[in-house]
Amino acid sequence: MAVPKRKTSKARKRRRFAYWKAEAPRTIRCRSCGGLRQPHVACPYCGTYKDQQVMAPRATEID
- E strand intervals along the chain: 28-29, 36-37, 48-49, 52-53
pLDDT in tens, 18-33: 888 888 899 999 998 8
pLDDT in tens, 24-60: 899 999 998 899 999 999 998 999 999 899 988 876 6
Q: Is the pTM of this model over 0.75?
A: no
Q: Which helix (H) or strand (E) holds 12?
A: helix 10-17
